[in-house]
Amino acid sequence: MIFPDMLQIDPLVASCRKGTLTPTDIVKEVLARVEAYNRVDPAVWITLVPADRLLARAAELESLSASDLPFYGVPFAVKDNIDVVGLPTTAACPAFAYTARESAEVVRCLEAAGAIVIGKTNLDQFATGLVGMRSPYGQPHSVFGSEYVSGGSSSGSAVAVAAGLVSFALGTDTAGSGRVPAAFNNIVGLKPTRGVLSTHGLVPACESLDCISIFASSTADALQVEQVARAPDIRVPYSRAMDPRKLPYGTFRFGILHKEDRFFDGCPASAVLYERAIQQLEELGGTAVELDFAPLKETAELLYSGPFVVERLTALEDFYHEHRGDMDPTVGQIFDGANKYSATDVFKGIYHQNLLKQEVDRMWNAFDVMVLPTAPRIVTKQEVAAQPIAVNSMLGTYTNFVNLLDMAACAVPAGFTPDGLPFGVTLIGPSFTDDDLALLAGRFHAVSGNTSGMNNVAVTSSTCTASTEAAPGNVLLAVVGAHLKGFPLHWQLEKEHAVLRATTRTAPDYRLFALPDAVPPKPGLVREKGFVGPGLEVEVYELDAAGFGRFVSALPQPMAIGKITLADGCEVSGFLCSEAIARSGKDITASGGWRYATL
């Protein structure tokens, strides 16, 4: 089989289910790619899982049913401050290294879903930095030039995805470490809401702010990973359950920087690309609203220029006092700065943080999401070597405040400068808007024509592609209303052990109506030839034939099952409605889907 440049999740899993590909094939391909890329950049990995262990894992999966595992055979990488059982966790500091006795909870969830850990990736030591230059294991470089930084601290994870070595990678994000490397390598970086992914098994940087983040070639892949991995964990002090908040889809408001607040550190090409991203979002139905950047900037300064740096020392206090000389000089200098603050200073900082949060929370009344540059510009390794702290601070201009203000974020590619260097923007939303934020970011990524990875692979806004097929004897079913996850009739799908395969949209020639007097409330979907709308959000589930039959036989009038065309042209079974009955209800097509409708 000829593998694609980017190992996207759905095509890999679909090929395994069809029997045209096996996990063993995938492991062998990944090992060959890793070996080849090591000759280009030997600093991506700290530890690789031995080949015999990977092949044994592949053989184990081949004894199981592919239809039961959403990530069957999917290869992924893990930042080396996250535990993988039997492998060393170094946090990029040899003196700190230990062998993990169990995997981090997120890793365990992903492996239980059929994914395969390929190895542990390089990072800025103790996840302290945005440059990817603070590691004794080498300094990974951007896939677009060996003289440019990869971004940090999740440096190796971002490069592993951008180079097509794995389907996705876990990073961490305290101050931007899951977003800046995404921008510098032309991929997606999804930073979940704080606490919805367990941090059990993570070496903490700032435990109250840390997030495990996800790198992928598309927002669809990144969101699938988050949805599989997230769950509350009573072992983690800041863990919390996901409580999804809606964002509008068809029309929306997005906050942007005033002209005078647009800082690109002397790079006019970045300014042009940011302006272009704003125009493209307006073409998607967005309305730009200028925001006040001052409280965001003030919050950002608390992280390294204020008492919050004490939390970094708290996480590693004993090691710091015993092994200060074993630490990277710049990282050690940052830890040293914690010693000048008192407990009183810390509480004053917390009070200040919460006052700023109240001010920023009021900003959401003016817009639904923020759209900011991910970083002012990409920098060279030489620049970092000359001014390691100043350059690092500049790179965090638009990222450092996000976790302090309890926001979700999704970084996506936004084009290239005339000299071929990548630029990215980040969509930022209130906490718990992760799902809708990723969907909106995915629309921008696809419709704007921006690519992914070092080979500039095209992406679509849909997680369902023409190659997505059900396993033999199974059926794909698109649901559009009361059967969506979190809605009153979703239990009927759970009863039949349906598995979510995609969150996507219909083709644009569908309308959606709120059915009159329906209990529970539900919509009716109809197709209108020649109509051009936003497309309606659907979830695509896979059921076995018997379960599908039981599900269909229980449907009440006026609902029926027919063929629905999705945004990428593939057809699946789905809910349709009598047109006469549907049109007697309220037309909610402009909302973009039942989840976003105001009834």
Q: Which of 142, 153, 155, 198 is catalytic?
A: 153
Question: Residue 134: CA atoms inside 13 Å, Cβ hemisphere, count?
Answer: 28
Query: What type of residue is 136?
Result: P
* Domain ranges in the chain with CATH number 3.90.1300.10: 9-245+375-458
pLDDT of amino acid 1 = 63
pLDDT at 466: 34
Radius of gyration of the chain (CA): 24
What is the mean predicted confidence (pLDDT) over 502-510?
Answer: 84
With vertex at residue 410, the alpha carbon angle to CA 405 and CA 412, rounded to the nearest 5 degrees, is 140
Q: Inform me whether the pLDDT recorded for 557 exceeds 80.
A: no
Class of domain 252-363: mainly alpha
Residues 114 and 205: beta-carbon distance below 8 Å:
no
- The architecture (CATH level 2) of 474-596 comes to Roll (3.10)
The answer to whether residue 569 scores a pLDDT higher than 80 is no
Q: What is the pLDDT of residue 338?
A: 92
pTM to 2 decimals? Answer: 0.83
Query: Residue 366: which of 248, 254, 244 has the closest Cα?
Result: 254
Of the listed ranges 284-293, 399-408, 587-596, the least confidently predicted one is 587-596
- Give span(s): CATH 3.10.490.10, the chain: 474-596
pLDDT in tens, 146-187: 999 999 999 999 999 999 999 999 999 999 999 999 999 999
Using CB atoms within 10 Å of the CB of residue 498, give its burial: 0 to 12 exposed, 13 to 18 middle, 19+ buried: buried
Cis peptide before 305 (omega within 30 of 0): no
DSSP E strands, 469-581 = 474-479, 499-505, 510-514, 523-527, 537-544, 559-565, 571-577
CA gap 376, 421 in Å, rounded:
12
Under CATH, which architecture does the 9-245+375-458 domain have? Alpha-Beta Complex (3.90)
Q: What average pLDDT does the structure give for the chain? A: 93
The catalytic residue among 67, 79, 191, 218 is: 79
pLDDT of residue 260: 97
Kind and range of the H or E run holding 349:
helix 343-363
- Residue 79 is among the residues annotated as catalytic for this protein: yes
DSSP character at residue 129: -
pLDDT at residue 463, rounded to an integer: 44
Does pLDDT of 384 surpass 90?
A: yes
Q: Are 520 and 556 in contact (CB under 8 A)?
A: no
Q: Are 374 and 181 in contact (CB under 8 A)?
A: no
> Stretch 346-370: mean pLDDT, rounded?
96
Tell me the H-state helices in 72-132.
105-112
- Region of 482 please: left (phi>0), alpha (psi -120 to 50) or beta: alpha
**Which of the four pLDDT bands, split at 50, 70 and 90, describes residue 351?**
very high
As a residue count, the chain comes to: 599
> If you average pLDDT over residues 489-499, what whole number do you get?
88
By C-alpha distance, which of 458, 469, 415 is closest to 217? Answer: 458
CB distance 439 to 219 below 8 Å = yes
Residue 529 falls in the annotated catalytic set: no
Interatomic CA distance for residues 523 and 153, integer angstroms: 45
Give the confidence band of 279 by pLDDT, cuts at 50, 70, 90.
very high
Residues 181-196: tens digit of each pLDDT: 999 999 999 999 999 9
pLDDT on residue 235: 97
How far is 210 from 233, CA to CA, in rounded Å?
15
Active-site entry in 150, 155, 167, 177? 177
- pLDDT above 70 as % of the chain: 97
Is position 177 annotated as part of the catalytic site?
yes
Q: Where in the chain is CATH 1.20.58.1700?
A: 252-363
> Would you place residue 39 in the very low, low, confident or very high pLDDT band (cuts 50, 70, 90)?
very high
Contacts of 336 (CB under 8 A, 6+ apart): none
> 464 pLDDT band (50/70/90 cuts)?
very low
| pLDDT for residue 467 is more than 70 | no
